[in-house]
Amino acid sequence: MMRPTPDQALDERTLTVWKIAAAIGSILYFVFPAAYWGALKFWEFPDWIFYALIFVAILFALINIFFIQKLQWSRWRYKIYDNEVELMHGVFVVRRVIIPMIRVQHVDTRQGPIMRYYKLASVTISTAATTHEIPGLSLEKAGTLRDHIAQLAREADPNE
Final residue belonging to a domain, choices 45, 72, 99 = 72
Residues 50 and 40: beta-carbon distance below 8 Å: yes
With H, G, I as helix, E, B as strand and everything else as coil, classify residue 156.
helix
Residues 153 and 106: beta-carbon distance below 8 Å: no
Q: How far apart are the first and last CA of the chain?
A: 33
Per the structure, the complete domain to which residue 55 belongs is given by: 13-72
Same-domain status, 41 and 91: no
From the number of C-beta atoms within 10 Å of its C-beta (0-12, 13-18, 19+), residue 160 rates as: exposed
Task: Kindly state the average pLDDT of the residues 139-149.
Answer: 96
Q: What is the pLDDT of residue 22?
A: 96
The answer to whether residue 113 sits within a structural domain is yes
Residues 132 and 85: beta-carbon distance below 8 Å: yes
Tens-digit pLDDT profile for residues 72-102: 999 999 999 999 999 999 988 999 999 999 9
The domain spanning residue 103 has which CATH number? 2.30.29.30
- What are the residues facing 131 on neighbouring strands? 126
**φ/ψ of residue 107, rounded to 5:** -130, 135
Average pLDDT over the chain reads 92
Who contacts 85 (Cβ-Cβ below 8 Å, separation ≥6)? 78, 79, 98, 99, 101, 104, 125, 132, 149
pLDDT band per the 50, 70, 90 thresholds, residue 124: very high
The answer to whether residue 96 sits within a structural domain is yes
Same-domain status, 60 and 129: no
The answer to whether residue 52 sits within a structural domain is yes
Same-domain status, 96 and 125: yes
The model's pTM is: 0.86
CA distances from 50 to 29, 59, 62 (A): 13, 14, 19
Share of the chain above pLDDT 90, in %: 75
Report whether pLDDT(159) > 70. no
Q: How many domains does the chain have?
A: 2
Tens-digit pLDDT profile for residues 38-59: 888 888 888 898 899 999 999 9
Q: What is the pLDDT of residue 12?
A: 96
Same-domain status, 82 and 51: no
The residue among 129, 124, 140, 128 whose CA lies nearest residue 13 is 140
